Chains A and B, each alone.
Chain A
Amino acid sequence: MSDLTSESAAQRDAILPARSRGDRLNEWLDRNSRHIFLWPAVLLILVFSIFPLVASAVIAFARIRLQAGGYRVRFVGWQNFEKQIFGSEQFHFLGTFGPVSVLGWVFGLAVTAGVIWWIVAYLRSGWTVIGTVGRLFPWGLVLLLGWLLAVTTLSGRPFGTLLTTYFYVLVGCGIQFLIGMGLAFLCSRAIRGRNVFRVLFFLPLMITPIGIGYTFRMMEDTSKGPFAPVWQWAGLGDFSWATDPWAARMFIIIADSWQWIPFVFIMLLAAFENVPRDFNEAAQMDGASEWQIFREITWPQILPVAATVMLIRVIEAFKIVDLPNIMTSGGPGIATESMSLHALFAWRSLDLGQASAVAYLLLVVTVITCVSFFNLVVLKRVRT
């Protein structure tokens, strides 16, 4: 400021308007800063997430033809969805239907009984309207999946991409949770070299899934892969993981677990380390066994974290597409095709309507599953 006062009047006149313009800009920025901070993110999400979401819904009800200079869109109502659920694509999405075997009946009725028991238990425990309506979704979903399983694979027919996706999500996440928790538990004990293990176990999470897919294709090769001598010794030299549906699915789960167990591991390791030491000590003094300590002290403490971790993991698991695409291209047949891959294939055959319909069905089951999991497991654990 002292510089300013010593300057000549002419200079000051030259400077002041510029300063005031800058001030005005600053003032404007300041006044609107609350909007300027938030709106870029909101706009980006609106344009690249919400708009496509709505547009995708519109496309799912249409048949789109590519033309010179644009698209020709014809609305076909529910046809795209009907085709997936009742029509010519039913085998692809839901599975091949036919007469139900005895095993199928037993399983389906068992699932039905389980759901009825669940409903009764809930109604007895004091129900609310919102609680009941919200639970209708998981009840319906469990019934649907149970009977689908009964009608398809338990009756000796292949199932479609819906159950394959759930297989990846439920079996894959289950395995990842158990092994990840086991490793975290082992690593949380006072052993030497913990940090080396920690860095090492963390690595797979960072590796590009495409790379993992090809690497595990080398692993699975029973004639030239690293385990070829083992296979030949076991007399399984002709066996190929990629031609048997269940083996192919399991192999994708192995590769997926290789990548994602580190995620569960890192999270639960932190949770284990947060369990206060004095609790364990006191229990040990009282002569509790390791298993008792784990069940009574450690497990309740890590449960909220575990539930959150699994929620994140399940959300990501529904998106699985790279590994099946690279490792098996969805084959043999459609055995390893996830719903994301199903939509991708539909897009490749330029059937944008079908692609969007499948993608939307994926969105619906993802949301129902994750919201149910959140409400029934995560919130309950956090509250109690």
Chain B
Amino acid sequence: MSLFTPRRIGQMSPGGSLITYLLLLAWAAFVIFPIYWLVITSFKSISDVNAGPVYLPFIDFQPSLHAWKDLLIEDWDDTRRAYVNSIIIALCSTGLSVLVGSMAAYALVRVTYAPRFSTILLFVLSLGGALAASLAYGVDWRLAGAVAVAIFVLAVRGLGNRFAATLGNGDILFWMISQRILAPVVVVVPIYMMFQSVGLLDTRTAIIVTYAVINLPIVVWLMFDFFNSIPRDLEESAQLDGATMFTVFREVVLPLSKPGLAATTLLVMILAWNEYLLALFLSTADAQTMPILVAAMNAGERGILWWTMSAVIVVMILPVLVLAIVLQRFISKGILVGAVKG
């Protein structure tokens, strides 16, 4: 490269270009190979799997549909139930958390809140007191709860005005987003006990609500950034015309934020589809989701039946794979929105 004929921007020397391609292709192979192996294993006969590796269908081995027959005909009831559960849970929890989360995010962008610091402190204290009383001294939890609420209300009325330190929208936002740092395992034991005491264990409702809450921080975070970037003028003119906050939100804001909503929805839906730990705690049979079904197939007496296992995993990851390929732009935009802006 001489000084007077600089390379065009980004143009590389042939050697550099070759190395770049080789590295990228190597990584592509590393990404694809496990998926490829999974798919072909689901078409292998039992003896082909057990005898050692065979790689190419029709050349190395004759594909067989026996695993798929097992899965789709003999075990159809189990598979279908888990699949339907997974679909319903992913859709409903996503709907719930996107609705609730985007409303909260919008409110945090447009309305100024000033919760009192003392109120929050009192709330936590009375909650802890009620819990300790009902767990340690066997006080009925309804009674403890009622007393705690009464004390809380009285104390807020009496003391609230003396400590005037307030928090702002930023604090509420941080509080909501920071919930993401909680490992599910920290909160899942009480959630399990809660649902058990109201008889909702092993129902879709329990899992839907839990997933919605777990994913709420992501929705609030992404949608807050998105709403923040929408110009205010349109909303203000609508407000001047006498539209309420609901109308403005529904008629003006939501249509404007379709890209953000789509990205968030997809991301949250995939997270809900893939979730494992919470479903493991909250479901035993009826509400089983696909990841739980797959994990439970480990337990056979003959060891893992890799052919059936592969088939069921293919079925499980097919929807997310298709979504990821078709809508990659949307999803990665969703991941990007929050992080790149910090």
Contact = CB atoms under 8 A, between A and B. Distances in A.
A206 interface: yes
A30 B313 contact: no
A200 interface: yes
A26 B243 CA distance: 11
Contacts of B321: 203, 206-207
A49 B332 CA distance: 27
Main secondary structure of the interface of B (DSSP, over half): helix
Interface stretch (A133-141, A240-248, A264-272): A264-272
Contact of B179 (A49, A325, A355): A49
A97 interface: no
Interface in A56-84: 56-59, 62, 70-71, 73, 75
Contact of B276 (A45, A210, A370): A210
Interface stretch (B64-72, B150-158, B255-263, B334-342): B334-342
B183 interface: yes
A343 interface: yes
Contact of A206 (B103, B108, B216, B324): B324
A321 B135 contact: no
A258 B30 contact: yes
Contact of B189 (A54, A202, A352): A352
B124 interface: yes
B136 A73 contact: yes
Contacts of B316: 208, 210-211
Contact of B320 (A33, A208, A223, A362): A208
A152 B249 CA distance: 58
A53 B213 CA distance: 13
B104 A191 contact: no
B245 A44 contact: no
Contact of B339 (A26, A62, A217, A305): A305
Given A52-B190, A207-B317, A211-B294, A271 B340 contact: yes
B28 interface: yes
Contacts of B121: none
B28 A305 contact: no
Interface in A188-204: 189-191, 197-204
B181 A370 contact: yes
B52 interface: yes
Nearest to B277: A321
Contacts of A70: 197
A34 interface: yes
B104 A59 contact: no
Contacts of B184: 319, 340
A194 to B, nearest CB: 9
Interface in A6-58: 26, 29-30, 33-34, 37-38, 40-42, 44-45, 48-58
B59 interface: no
B135 A62 contact: yes
B33 interface: yes
Contacts of A339: 185
A34 B124 CA distance: 23
Nearest to B267: A206
Contacts of A366: 181, 183
B189 A315 contact: no
A193 to B, nearest CB: 8
Interface stretch (B2-10, B160-168, B230-238): B2-10
A223 B52 contact: yes
B324 A44 contact: no
Contacts of A62: 135-136
Contacts of B281: 347
B31 to A, nearest CB: 6
A149 interface: no
Main secondary structure of the interface of A (DSSP, over half): helix
Given A40-B100, A58-B132, A200 B185 contact: no
Nearest to A257: B30
A187 B100 contact: no
A198 B324 CA distance: 11
A318 B181 CA distance: 9
Contact of B185 (A58, A207, A340): A340
B189 A347 contact: yes
A304 B342 contact: yes
Contact of B270 (A206, A271, A305): A206
B169 to A, nearest CB: 10
Contacts of B175: 45
Contacts of B310: 214, 218
Contacts of B304: 214, 217
Which of B49, B176, B188 has most A Cβ within 10 Å?
B188
Given A206-B324, A210-B294, A280 B9 contact: yes
B190 A55 contact: yes
B312 to A, nearest CB: 9
Interface string A212-243: 10111111000111111100000000000000
Nearest 8 pairs between A and B by C-beta? A41-B104, A190-B10, A37-B107, A52-B190, A55-B190, A52-B187, A33-B245, A206-B324
Interface of B: 3, 6-7, 9-12, 17, 20-21, 23-24, 27-28, 30-35, 37-38, 41, 49-53, 55, 100-101, 103-104, 106-108, 111, 113, 124, 127-128, 131-132, 135-136, 172, 175-176, 179-191, 193-194, 197, 209-210, 212-213, 216, 220, 244-246, 249, 270, 273-274, 276-277, 280-281, 290-291, 294-295, 298, 304, 306, 309-310, 313, 316-317, 320-321, 323-325, 328, 331-332, 335-336, 339-340, 342
Given A34-B113, A73-B136, 11 more contacts: A34-B111, A38-B107, A38-B113, A52-B189, A53-B186, A58-B128, A199-B328, A207-B317, A212-B34, A214-B310, A226-B37
11 contacts: A37-B249, A48-B191, A54-B128, A182-B23, A186-B23, A190-B11, A207-B321, A224-B52, A284-B6, A340-B277, A344-B277
